[in-house]
Amino acid sequence: AAGIARAEEGADVGTPVTVIVPTFNERDNVAELVARIAAALPEGDAEILFVDDSTDDTAAEVARVAADAPVPVRVIHRAENHGGLGGAVVVGIEAASFDVCIVMDGDLQHPPELLPALLDRYDAGDADLVAASRYVGGGDTRGLGTAVRFGVSRAATWLTRAMFPIRLARSTDPMTGFFLVDRKRLDVANLQPQGFKILLEILARNDLRIAEVPMEFAERRHGTSKASLRQGATFIAHLARLRFGKMSLFALIGAIGAAANLGIMWGLTAAGVPYIWAAIMGAEVTIIGNFLLQERFVFADMRTDARGLGVRFASSFAFNNVEAALRIPVMALMVESWHISSVLATALSLIVAFFARFLFHSLVV
Ligand code: GDD
Ligand code: MN
């Protein structure tokens, strides 16, 4: 209504915009963030939409600040944290009141004063997505902190751009969390975010015209970063899956498991453990390890049934033990009759098992 009133006065009314802020324990940043966003937004329809997964009282703080904020402020507090930061952003895009959405962090590392530049660049009319980049002229990465984090960030950016040379040709900073996107240009239902890199997910799955504006990445104001080694592993899985699909990630984890299995066999037999026992231990460790990795990185978004972790584990464990119970005797036969090393025999048996499984799936399943 305020926007309409201003329009009737003949003021220059900007594009209606929803500012989406994913938050995880950012209580002490909310008041300053809302004040600075409100001050930066041009005249016209606008709202700030928090999508919150906090375990502290961030959502209550948003409600308190909303009461006398100069723009409408909403908060969605999610009961379950699906897809982490990226999942929260997708919920925000779906729930936004306006098609033009700006996504930014809640810790003031993304300066709200940049909002007009993002909107102006979008209003030029030749871009579907405008990203705030740390790596174009005038951009700055001071807020990344240590040299190690800077190095990791640059290496990850380089790897990602090398893997998506066409889609990311015009994106110097596909890992930035500060960007404007026109929801109408997106296939939102097709997004399957995993962890932090929601912009990468959007750019890899949609053919968008990309523009950039330089940003100075500031220091976090209050609280602590949620980046972690675990987020790093999630990022690698996300990349593999975006590039090669779910099947390849499944195969990649299977290959890591096979290598681990052989490593365990080698170590245990070298230490004098009878090779049958070494084979059994290698198989069991691999069966459990693979289950946990697949569960975490491959099938996290596929749990549509109500079966619990225990039931999923039991069925996977049973299936793989049947396989091991068939495979290990074959391996022993190879060792005894051909007099080859048990590690080599296990490698051969794993290859045979792989093709048997493949044949079974293509012919029967
Ligand atoms: N809703 C929700 N759920 N929000 C989350 C979650 C989650 O599980 N995890 C983190 N967030 C929010 C944080 O509260 C913050 O507002 C924002 O996401 C970024 O998280 P930080 O903990 O500040 O991470 P960062 O500073 O390391 O990451 C930033 O830089 C990366 C590039 O270096 C973000 O901008 C990332 O998007 C960006 O990729
Ligand atoms: Mn941050």
Q: What is the ipTM of this complex?
A: 0.97
Chain CA centroid to CA 80, Å: 16
Owner of token pair 């990185």: 297
- Report the DSSP beta bridge partners of residue 17: 46, 100
Q: How far is the CA of 22 from the centre of ligand 2 (A)?
A: 11
If pLDDT is split at 50, 70 and 90, which confidence band does 212 have? very high
Give residue 303's pLDDT: 55
Query: What mean pLDDT is predicted for residues 79-100?
Result: 95
3-state helix, strand, coil in the chain (%, to 5): 55, 10, 35
Give residue 5's pLDDT: 42
Higher pLDDT, 246 or 257: 257
C-beta separation of 261 from 269 below 8 A:
no
Ligand 1 binding pocket includes 24 (Cβ within 6 Å): yes
Give residue 178's pLDDT: 98
Q: With 50 as the cut, is the pLDDT of residue 227 above it?
A: yes
Query: What mean pLDDT is predicted for residues 261-283?
Result: 97
Give residue 137's pLDDT: 80
If pLDDT is split at 50, 70 and 90, which confidence band does 77 have? very high
Q: How far is the CA of 24 from the centre of ligand 2 (A)?
A: 10
Higher pLDDT, 144 or 89: 89
Interacting residues of 275 by C-beta distance below 8 A, sequence separation 6+? 265, 269, 332, 335, 342
Q: With 50 as the cut, is the pLDDT of residue 10 above it?
A: no
Give residue 148's pLDDT: 83
> Using CA atoms, how far apart are residues 229 and 235, in angstroms rounded to an integer?
10
Work out whether the CA dihedral 213, 217, 218, 223 comes out positive or negative: positive
Q: With 50 as the cut, is the pLDDT of residue 230 above it?
A: yes
If pLDDT is split at 50, 70 and 90, which confidence band does 17 have? very high
Q: With 50 as the cut, is the pLDDT of residue 8 above it?
A: no
- The number of beta carbons lying within 10 Å of the beta carbon of residue 196 is 23
Q: Does the pTM exceed 0.80?
A: no
Owner of token pair 């593999």: 240
Q: With 70 as the cut, is the pLDDT of residue 94 above it?
A: yes
Q: Which of 220, 226, 230 to mutate to test the pocket of ligand 1 (most atoms within 8 A of CB)?
A: 226
Q: Which of 76, 80, 105 to mutate to test the pocket of ligand 1 (most atoms within 8 A of CB)?
A: 105
Question: In this structure, which residue's CA is closest to atom 12 in ligand 1?
Answer: 23
Q: How far is the CA of 220 from the centre of ligand 2 (A)?
A: 6
Q: With 60 as the cut, is the pLDDT of residue 120 above it?
A: yes
Q: Which atom of ligand 1 is the closest one to the Cα of 25?
A: 14
> Using CA atoms, how far apart are residues 131 and 19, in angstroms rounded to an integer?
14
Q: With 70 as the cut, is the pLDDT of residue 352 above it?
A: yes
Q: With pLDDT > 90 as the criterion, what percentage of the chain qualifies?
A: 64
- Least trusted range by pLDDT, from 17-21, 25-29, 316-320: 316-320
Query: What mean pLDDT is predicted for residues 156-173?
Result: 91
- Average pLDDT of every residue of the chain: 89
- Least trusted range by pLDDT, from 90-104, 140-154, 271-285: 140-154
